[in-house]
Amino acid sequence: MKPQKAQEFKKQKVNLQVNWYSLLIKIIYTFGLCSTAVVFTFSIINGWWPITIICGIFSIIFSVLFKKIFYNQSDKKAGYECVYDAAVDGKLNE
């Protein structure tokens, strides 16, 4: 492996770590958004208005974060897609 290709491979490994981290954040925020929606629905059904208001506020916060995280232009790929792209390009085999 040539020195330049070794440096490219190291950069690729760093990018994969960052993408797995962003994938984990996406999973956490998706779970937070879904659980807030479930609690919000049950609190409306049961008439727990203070909990409904609190969950409404949290759902707005999660929605804003969800949009910022999922539609961030700098984060176009997550984890395994980068590995696949690198394998197709031949960068992992060189």
- pLDDT tens track for 39-93: 888 888 888 888 888 877 877 777 777 666 666 544 455 444 455 555 555 554 4
Q: What are the pLDDT digits (tens) for 25-35?
A: 778 777 877 88
Q: Which of 14, 22, 56, 12 is nearest to 36 (CA)?
A: 56
Block residue for tokens 């390009």:
89
Residue ranges per structural domain of the chain: 21-89
Q: Distance between CA 17 and CA 76 in Å, rounded?
A: 14
How far is it, in rounded angstroms, from Cα 31 to Cα 35?
6
CB burial of residue 8 (10 Å; 0-12, 13-18, 19+): middle
